[in-house]
Amino acid sequence: DGGITQSPKYLFRKEGQNVTLSCEQNLNHDAMYWYRQDPGQGLRLIYYSQIVNDFQKGDIAEGYSVSREKKESFPLTVTSAQKNPTAFYLCASSIPAGDGTEAFFGQGTRLTVV
Amino acid sequence: AQKVTQAQTEISVVEKEDVTLDCVYETRDTTYYLFWYKQPPSGELVFLIRRNSFDEQNEISGRYSWNFQKSTSSFNFTITASQVVDSAVYFCALSEAGSPGAGSYQLTFGKGTKLSVIP
């Protein structure tokens, strides 16, 4: 079955550590996205990538980094510079055509700082 | 800048009641796309519908219907005869068309409306 796989589902991080969230898709989509969800805040865009080896900052990129070495993979690193990383992180992908095709989402990773 | 407002933070209804979720948007583009997503407790966002700015026809899909009105910049979602399985957070989202490669396809989400259907 085609879809988006995020791992792990739950992640605990000690303060000062970097952690990497995995996102893999087998939908052959060119575009991939990372969103952060906080209670009552909706979803906010962290980074997006329209094509391999290229990515752009979203609205809240500070303290995060990404890479796009393969079309199928778009990992997100939460660095120690991110002051409040506890949140629910969602990865998505889409065909970046001009007709507003819908984005497909993974099941999310819940990150908690301990 | 684009913006999506979902004024209803939480709604509770009794099973079999009808319920309407409101969505108001702001954009300067003449070409844009509106979406509704459902987020059940499992966390994954499930796509429900897409509507482009040139198509103001209302749409019905089973118990779900959507009312798009450009005059009021609204894209409301109605669930008829609600069921417990409809309990979820519902997000309205907007995407501006932009130009190819310009990176304008990312979605701007509202803050969501949490719907609780009580048996």
Q: How far is it, in rounded angstroms, from Cα B36 to Cα B47?
A: 6
Q: Are the beta carbons of A100 and B95 separated by less than 8 Å?
A: yes
Q: Which residues contact A6 (CB under 8 A, 6 or more apart)?
A: A21, A22, A23, A89, A90, A91, A106, A107, A108, A109
Determine the 3-state secondary structure of B113 from DSSP.
strand
The yes-or-no verdict on residue B104 having pLDDT over 70 is: no
Residues in chain A: 114
Q: Are the beta carbons of B44 and A40 separated by less than 8 Å?
A: no
Q: With beta carbons under 8 A apart, name residues in chain A contacting B106.
A: 33, 45, 48, 58
The yes-or-no verdict on residue B4 having pLDDT over 80 is: yes
Contact in structure between A94 and A101 (CB atoms under 8 Å): yes
Q: With beta carbons under 8 A apart, name residues in chain B contacting A96.
A: 100-101, 105
Mean pLDDT for chain B? Answer: 90
Omega cis (within 30) before A96 = no
Q: With beta carbons under 8 A apart, name residues in chain A contacting B42.
A: 107
Q: Which residues contact B62 (CB under 8 A, 6 or more apart)?
A: none
Omega cis (within 30) before B100 = no
- Condensed to tens digits (0 to 9), the pLDDT of residues B23-40 reads 999 998 888 999 999 999
Q: What confidence score (pLDDT) does residue B101 get? A: 47
Structure tokens at B47: 């796509």
